[in-house]
Structure 1
Amino acid sequence: MQPTSATAASTSSTRRMLRVTGHIAKSLLFAGLMWAAAAAGELPIPGTPVPITLQTFVVMMAALMLDWREAASAVVAYLAAGAVGLPVFAGGASTAALFGPSAGFLIGFLPGVIVAALLKGRAHTDSFNASLRTASRYFAASLLGGVVVVYLIGFAVQSSLTHVPFGVVAAASMGFVIGDVIKAAVASLAAAGLARLR
């Protein structure tokens, strides 16, 4: 009886360790993808010091593909890498970006990814209509977390740092908002499609 109990305990411990390793690996993968999205290039928008990158797309995908803890861990790992001086932010920036005009957007990734991950619900992909409902729910979650939350924090911090009124900052950033609404739609369709494959 004793060897069987020991074997069961060992198997349970191994499974638990594999689960934890899987969670860590997923978080680190998405942290790396956030860096890759920043390194891939940026597109400047006239009237605002913050460039367009694909980071928000990766943040939305993290929220839709991972649970909220994994998604939050991915963002924390990414922000921590920049905070300690690694050039992971747009334009190869590191620590200084967390105190500049982009700071609010970067910091906003954390509450944004958590909100989106919590709102997405479970993927139901057993039929076309179920997949469509899942994609619609994902889109709403991405809009609320990945756009509304991130931009409210980003606008507020940028307005505070630059002493430009909140409304002016928001108006100058409408190009970002439109782009991120499109990214939210693409991320939602992609995540729903990947959920269907699983």
Structure 2
Amino acid sequence: MTSLTRPHTGPTTLWRPLALTLAGAALITLGAKLQIPFWPVPMTLHTLAVMLIAAALGPRLGMAAMATYLAAGAMGLPVFSGSPARGVGLAYMAGPTGGYLLGYLVAAGLTGWLALGRGWIGRGLAMLAGLATVYAAGLLWLSAFIPASGLVAAGLAPFIAGDLLKIALATLLLSGWARLRGRGA
């Protein structure tokens, strides 16, 4: 194999995935911290960030970004929604929202995989599948903290409208980005 046919394995191929992973984790943190007044509860952009990153970067980098975000939180960095300036680490992750956090990790891989090579409808459906994964894991975990009779009212109903809105926005953003890239912009 000559140097012209050998795959490039220089520094660029090593730094690009690392930079995308760290940028993704930073975007997830920013999304978790931004609160928008919404009814019945304030809305963060956490779901938007996770689904957008997973659908845009694919399963490997999407999961890597989410895992990096979770690792930062586990180390006590204040990355989680509502966490104080000095993070709470593993205690926060073991609390009522821990299942949702784990669900986001699985959803990042699933969404990224299902969105590969798809058009805007396929990417939107991939994000809906990811959101269903988040809710399944989150509600299962939350059931250890609250009675089953209050599970949907506490862990799904207040958030579903906002999350569906964020999925629609992420789908539109990705569609717009794809159009811009197709025009050479």
Shared fold (TM-score, shorter chain, > 0.5): yes
Alignment partner of 2:98 out of 100, 103, 122: 103
Aligned with 1:55 (options 46, 54, 68): 46
Compared CA separation, residues 83 and 194, structure 1 to 2 (3 A): same
Offset at residue 139 of structure 1 (A): 1.0
Greater shift in the superposed pair: 93-102 or 56-65 = 93-102
How far 1:28 sits from its partner (Å)? 0.7
1:40 Cα deviation after fit: 2.1
- Confirm or deny that 1:176 pairs with 2:159: yes
* 1-structure distance, mates of 2:129, 2:37: 24
1:104-153 deviations in whole A, cap 9, x for unaligned?
Answer: 11111111111111111315xxxxxxxxxx111111110011x1000010
- Which of 131, 141, 145 does residue 126 from structure 2 map onto? 141
Q: Which has the larger share of helix? A: 1
Letter in 2 for 1:56: T
How many residue pairs end up in the alignment? 176
TM-score between both structures, scaled by the size of structure 2: 0.85
Conserved 8 A contact 1:42-1:91: no
Contact 2:58 2:116 in 1 (8 A): no
In 1, Cα distance between equivalents of 2:12 and 2:96: 40
Q: Distance in 2 between matches of 1:79 and 1:143?
A: 22
The 2-side partners of 1:99 and 1:12 are apart by 42
Question: Is the CA contact (8 Å cut-off) linking 1:41 and 1:91 kept in structure 2?
Answer: no
For 2:153, give the aligned amino acid. Answer: A
Give me the identity figure in percent: 33
Of 75, 86, 107, the match for 1:84: 75
**Residue of structure 2 aligned with 1:27, choices 21, 24, 45:** 21
- Aligned partner of 1:41 in structure 2 is 35
Cα deviation for residue 102 of structure 1 reads 1.0
Pick closer, same or farther for the CA change 1:174–1:122 going to 2, 3 Å: same
The 4+ residue runs of structure 1 with deviation greater than 4 A are 7-11, 42-46
Could you tell me which residue of structure 2 aligns to residue 119 of structure 1?
114
The residue aligned with 2:8 is 12
Gaps of 5+ in 1: 124-133
Task: Provide the rounded CA distance (Å) in 1 between the counterparts of 2:116 and 2:7.
Answer: 31
Where in structure 2 are there 5+ consecutive unaligned residues?
Answer: none
Aligned pair in 2 of structure 1 residues 149, 10: CA closer, same or farther (>3 Å)? closer
TM-score normalised by the chain length of structure 1 = 0.80
CA distance in 2, matches of 1:189, 1:39: 22
